[in-house]
Every structure is written in C-alpha cells, then in structure tokens.
Structure 1
Amino acid sequence: MKLLHADICRYELPFIAPVTVRGVLLRKREGLLLRLTSEGATAYGEIAPLTGLHAESLDEALQVLTAFIPELSRLTRNTSAERLRLIGETKLPPSVATGIEMALVNLEALETGSIPVFPDAFSPASKIPVNALLAGDTATVLDRAAKRYTEGFRAFKLKVRKGQLDEAIASIRAFHDMFGNNAELRLDANQSLDFDEAVGFGKALPHGSISYIEEPLTDAALIPEFHAATSLPSALDESLWQRPELLDEIGPEPLGALVLKPNCIGGIAKSLDIAAKAHRMGLQAVFSSAFESSVSLGMYALLAAVSSPNPAASGLDTASFLADDLTDTPFAAPDGFADPAAAWRDSLRVKPEMIEIVESWTL
C-alpha cells in the first residue's frame, strides 16, 4: 500500500427537528471526513464528536487529526495489527481514533476488492435488525411506533428524561398495551436518575414491558442494587468508556446488553473486543451511533453483523433524524432490517457537494 494523498473535509447536516443531547439542543450535525487516496482506491472515515456526549470538541478533533496526518506515512502495511500499532502509539480522542481506523479499514477493503474482514469475528449475517428510535410526548411516541411497526420494525428505543418520568411511564404503558409481547421496548436514561428515582420509576412499569434500560443511574456502580430492587436488566453504554472496570465489577447478572458506540469507545477493533466479551458473558452487543452520517452507519452495520451469530437489533435508526446525508444512498432499514454488506458499500460513495476540504497533504 502506498498512500498518496490525505484530505480533511468538513460537513454540516441539519436535523429534521432539533435534537437534545444531555440538555444541549442541537439543530445540525457537524463533523469531519478523513479522505485517504492510494494508488488503487479512495476511502473515507468519519470523525464526529457530538456536543454533550464527547469530551473533545470538533475543533479539538480537527487539531489532533491535523497533527496526526504525517504519521500515516509510517504505515507500510495496512493491516489490523499495523493500524492498531500506529493509532495506539499516539493518545488520540476516541472520535479521531475511530475515524482514522475507519478510513484505513475501508481503504484496505477497497484495495483487496472485498468487504472488510475482522480478526476473530463471526461470519457476517446477511441481515441485521435495527431498533427504531422514539421521542416526544405519548401521542407522538405511539404514532411513530405504529408507523415503524407497520414498516417491519420489532425493536424500539425510548429516551427517559429526568423530570419527565410520568410522561415516560405513560408512554411505556401505552406502548405495552398496543404491542404486548409483539415488540421489544428498550429504554435509555443517559445516567440521569438518582437511585431512588430510578427504583421508583422501575417499579411503576408494567411487568415485562421493557427488555432493559441503558445507564439508568448517575452512579452505574449501583446497577446491581437497582436490579435487586426492580428485577429490571440494565445496559452499559457511557460506562464502557468512562469506567470500563465496572463491567467486570458488575458482572452479567444485572445486565441485559452492552451498547457499543465506536466513536466513543475509541475504534473498530476496541468495539469488536467488547462485543466478543459481551458474547462470552451471555449479553447482547448492541452497536449504536451518535447521530453520525451514513459513512459511519454502513461500517457499524457491518460490525453488528460480525459481532454475534444472532446479532441484536442495532441503534442505527439515527439517520432518519437527518434532513440530508453525505452518501448517494443513505443508510436505511426499510423493513426493520438492514443489509450490512450493501450498507457498507453505500457508505463509500460520498457526495462531493456535501463536503468542504479544509486541509490537504501529499504523503
């Protein structure tokens, strides 16, 4: 492999409606693409820290990425081991490490003429289920759920917000009345509830109405006590990169899933390592996005496809909240399922009019 050029491109994508992330109201999704060109291919990787979620800002990610680009000339063989060595030698923010690794994985695949192959992963599933994202008041939640159910979705995710628990309980009860056991409902509290709030909320839910709740507590170390008090399984998301030691301390019994956001965890290989651990622990590995473009969603669909013999429904419905996208064919799950190989191939075709080059190198 001989890298010839590297470009950093910037993009902005409006949301269909404002999105709230940990109390921050966002009207658009901003990010960067790293474009790498070799003698035989051009590939992209996305660097998109999300305000309210990532510690690094977009400008900080740009500065770090700009400083790192010359290091790419040291990469003589674009293999998994060499990528991890190169990226691991520099302490990179997780969104930056993910984008660099994504671009290199895509470049290797394009040069070999195959979909990406990941060491020690399962054979890729031909289809993966996707969970539909629900938000709003009870009427809005039910309306969107009914529409998505008709389309073929059978897994759904509802955000639970501190100060709006009564509304959430009403939505969950109405959802359960409407679908019963014919649809799976997952919750996500984003570490917003104290212990007593979470327990009271959990006890108010109809028995069997949810499959798990992501990060119910401000202190995730109390998840075993929350499970003992409510019998509800939790899922780890933010804790996987904020306090990774907690997974072993908590153990599998109080958990139902591990939610994997590669651009928060710090890359593709790291995410697949955690997915493999989830499989060993008997937990679902749920790949999820942070409202990235279809450049990332295609890769995440492929990661979900190789993470388990029976992949869990992935949290990749975020593309439906974007008013536009970077690729000719945006990520979609028209019947509640996505074709991961097709989604990955679609993720490679970026519309040039959607991006602006801000830095360029000849390597």
Structure 2
Amino acid sequence: MELELSLYRYAIPFTEPITVKQQRLVMRDGLVLALTSATEAVTAFGEIAPLFGLHSETLEQAEAQLVTLFATPHTTLARIMEAQFYPSVRTGLEMAIHNFTAARSGALPRFGTTPHNAEQVPVNALLFGASNEVVERAERLFTAGYRTFKLKVNAANSANAIASIQALHSRFGNAIALRLDANQSFTLNDAIAFGKALPDGSIAYIEEPLQNAERIGDFYAATAIPAALDETLWQNPALLDIIPTKALAALVLKPNRLGGITVAEKFARYAAERGLLAVVSSAFESGISLGFYAWLAASCNAEPAACGLDTSRYLAFDVLTTPFPTNTPLLDAAQCYRNSLQVNLATLKPCAMPQSFRILMEN
C-alpha cells in the first residue's frame, strides 16, 4: 500500500508563561505528521514536539531529519523505522503508524499485556505558588474531584515547599496523594534535611530528588521516602539496575523524551513487574498526543496510576476537532483516544516541503 506523507506545524500560545529547566516559554511549537492512503481514504496523525529546555533536538532539526529520511527513493515504512531518530521524531512516527492501523481496522490499539483495559485514567493536578495559594488551589481541585496532586520543589524554595506540604497535610491528611518533583535539584545532604522536615506520611514520593540519582538508595535509607525516576530513564537507564527497587515508587514515562511508544511500553512493563507505578506524562503536547497517552496508560495497567496529562489547560487552544478535556480528574480513555484521531487542520500550517513524499507500507 502506498502512503502519502504530509507535514504540518502548529504554534499555540501558553495561557501563561511556563519555565522548563530555567527556560521561560510563551509558545508551544510542534509538528504534525499525516499518513494518508488515497486508496482506502484513511488519514492518521502523529505529533513531533520537542520541548525547548527538555529535548536535545530542536523542532527544526526534527523536521530536517524527517525530510531527509522520506526523500530516500522507493523506501518502505518498515525500512524507515530501522533508522536512528531523535526521540520526538520516533514518537511521532510510531504514533502515526499505530493510529493509521487503528483507523484502518476500526479497533483500538493494543499495548502492554493487561487482558482488560481500564475505562478511566485518573489525572494528577499541578500545584504552585505560595503556601496559601497552594492550599486554595488544592481545595478547588479537590472539590472538582482530583485526589492526586503534584508540587514542584527545589533546594532554592525548600522553605516554601515545606510550608505548603505541612499546610496540605494539615488540611487533607490521607485524603489526597501528594507527589513532589525536585528535577534533580538537591544534593544528598540537602535532600535528606528536606525529607526529614516533612510530616510523616505526607507525600507519596519525590520525583528525581538528587543531582546524583545513583544515591537515591541512600536518600531512602535516611528518610524512608521513596523516589520516582523521570530524567534518569533517558539520561542513565542503567541506574535501574543499581538503585534498590524498594527505594522507588514510580517511573514517570514521557514517551516523546524517552524515545518512542515502544520504549515507554518497555518501561511500563518493567514497572508492573516490580510493583512500581507507571505514570504516563506529557511534555505540554497537544491533544493528539494526550489522547494517545491516555489510551496507552489505560492499556498498560487495569488500574492505571494518576497520570501527568493535565497540561492542556496551559495551552490556549487544541488542534483537535474535539479538544482534549481540561479540569477533568478522570479521563474516558477510549473516548480521548478516538477524539485524538480527529485533527482540525485549520489550526495547522502546512510545512513547505521540497517535494511530494510517498512510501510503501506493508499490508
């Protein structure tokens, strides 16, 4: 079967500036790859969206890599997928292929080994601000149905973070699960001091607490607070064999930074086999990816962990005909996936391509 490839670009303002690795961002830019079979009247999409400050590749580099690969004469999709890609590019390609197969068959994709998919996926909500603002926001979200929250912390704001955590624990107790994300900001000694200042049982885990992740076992031994791995999974995945499993509570899976859907599935299986949470998360992507990730989370675990898919609220609009839901503590995974297949092309700008690209896909 012959497929035509098209490439589009989007530029979506953030509803307020966000900071990623000390980089202040006001716009989310990305690419959308379309695979079209004229004979079967099927079009499927995949998103390629490296985030400045998180990814090593730029959007321009991702686009150039795609154009170079597709320009190979008489190539096949299977041969293309054997090449080395930037993580965001492989994610978009795999997503488009899964979506194309699903659109042709009318069946939802299958991931993982869970015999029954979850119908709903819980979402964790992000908290920020001074301690009084954190509690006020948590109260609003709790009333809306959220039960899992995430608070960014670092060595520079540890006093404010401790005050916020104490206030949240006093207000909600065990009625919520509070996750912290330190983005590898603490030294071991500072992390231990921070952990010991927290009320017992006040947090579910702290994501990437240390500048040197190899010492997470030491942090756990001193505080009894488990960690979650995010950046370590792509920076140094071999540390999974070094960090004691008992010192971990979760793996945070960002497919477009890990290197694709297949890699994310592998880590999800690793987590399930060891009793760890697999927290599927986005990097401020559009509803194309968010709907796909919701179904991925539902497919990999019959009782999925609260996922980091609450990011669409920070984008001024979505590229889907039916936008990905915001302010929703429980996602209808199948419906989110189906909606992610319907892209509003009016929100996209076609990329100027040097030629028309066609490839062969095995039936």
Normalised-by-shorter TM-score class: over 0.9
Alignment match, 1:288:
281
Equivalences for residues 144-163 of structure 1 within 5 A: 144-163=137-156
Q: CA deviation at 1:146?
A: 1.2
Is the Cα contact below 8 Å between 1:298 and 1:345 reproduced in 2?
yes
Query: TM-score of the superposition, structure 2-length normalised?
Result: 0.94
1:168 lines up with 2:161 in the alignment? yes
Q: Deviations over 1:68-94 (max 9, x none)?
A: 224696436xxxxx5xx742x211110
Return 5+ residue gaps in structure 1 as ranges.
Answer: 77-81
Q: CA deviation at 1:122?
A: 4.2
**1: distance between equivalents of 2:281 and 2:329?**
15
**2: distance between equivalents of 1:51 and 1:298?**
22
Alignment match, 2:33:
34
Q: Deviations over 1:208-242 (max 9, x none)?
A: 01000100011100000000111100000010111
Aligned length: 354
Equivalences for residues 162-241 of structure 1 within 5 A: 162-241=155-234
**1: distance between equivalents of 2:186 and 2:286?**
30
1:55 lines up with 2:56 in the alignment? yes
Per mean C-alpha deviation after superposition, the further-off stretch among 98-107 and 160-169 is 160-169
Equivalences for residues 64-103 of structure 1 within 5 A: 64-70=65-71, 74-75=75-76, 82=78, 86-87=80-81, 89-103=82-96
Is the Cα contact below 8 Å between 1:252 and 1:282 reproduced in 2?
no
Distance 1:73 1:280, change over 3 A: farther
**1: distance between equivalents of 2:74 and 2:293?**
27
1:20 lines up with 2:13 in the alignment? no
Q: CA deviation at 1:139?
A: 2.6
Is the Cα contact below 8 Å between 1:122 and 1:307 reproduced in 2?
no
Q: Deviations over 1:137-159 (max 9, x none)?
A: 22322222111111111001111
**Matched position secondary structure for 1:192:** coil
**2: distance between equivalents of 1:280 and 1:90?**
30
**2: distance between equivalents of 1:17 and 1:335?**
20
Alignment match, 1:329:
322
Distance 1:139 1:122, change over 3 A: farther
Give, as a single letter, the amino acid of the residue that structure 2 aligns with 1:66: V
Q: Deviations over 1:325-355 (max 9, x none)?
A: 1112222265410011100111112111211
Give, as a single letter, the amino acid of the residue that structure 1 aligns with 2:43: T
Alignment match, 2:45:
44
Is the Cα contact below 8 Å between 2:114 and 2:302 reproduced in 1?
no
Alignment match, 2:331:
338
**2: distance between equivalents of 1:301 and 1:72?**
36
Question: Of 109, 112, 121, which aligns to 1:116?
Answer: 109
Q: CA deviation at 1:120?
A: 3.5
Give, as a single letter, the amino acid of the residue that structure 1 aligns with 2:250: A
Alignment match, 2:243:
250
Is the Cα contact below 8 Å between 1:130 and 1:333 reproduced in 2?
no
Is the Cα contact below 8 Å between 1:129 and 1:314 reproduced in 2?
yes
Return 5+ residue gaps in structure 2 as ranges.
Answer: 359-363
Q: Deviations over 1:278-336 (max 9, x none)?
A: 00011010000111111100000011001112111101001111121111222226541
Alignment match, 2:361:
none
Q: Deviations over 1:220-278 (max 9, x none)?
A: 00000000111100000010111010112113110000000000111111101110110
Runs of 4+ off more than 3 Å: 70-76, 119-122
**1: distance between equivalents of 2:208 and 2:31?**
28
Is the Cα contact below 8 Å between 1:11 and 1:356 reproduced in 2?
yes
**1: distance between equivalents of 2:73 and 2:35?**
10
Is the Cα contact below 8 Å between 1:47 and 1:99 reproduced in 2?
yes
Alignment match, 1:309:
302
Give, as a single letter, the amino acid of the residue that structure 2 aligns with 1:61: A
Alignment match, 2:254:
261
Query: Between the two proteins, what is the percent identity of the paired residues?
Result: 48
Q: CA deviation at 1:188?
A: 0.5
**2: distance between equivalents of 1:333 and 1:181?**
25
**2: distance between equivalents of 1:73 and 1:196?**
58
Give, as a single letter, the amino acid of the residue that structure 2 aligns with 1:7: S
**Matched position secondary structure for 1:68:** helix
Give, as a single letter, the amino acid of the residue that structure 1 aligns with 2:58: S
**1: distance between equivalents of 2:151 and 2:169?**
13
Distance 1:59 1:125, change over 3 A: same
Is the Cα contact below 8 Å between 1:10 and 1:355 reproduced in 2?
yes
**2: distance between equivalents of 1:122 and 1:226?**
37
**Matched position secondary structure for 1:163:** helix
Distance 1:119 1:69, change over 3 A: farther
Is the Cα contact below 8 Å between 2:69 and 2:80 reproduced in 1?
no
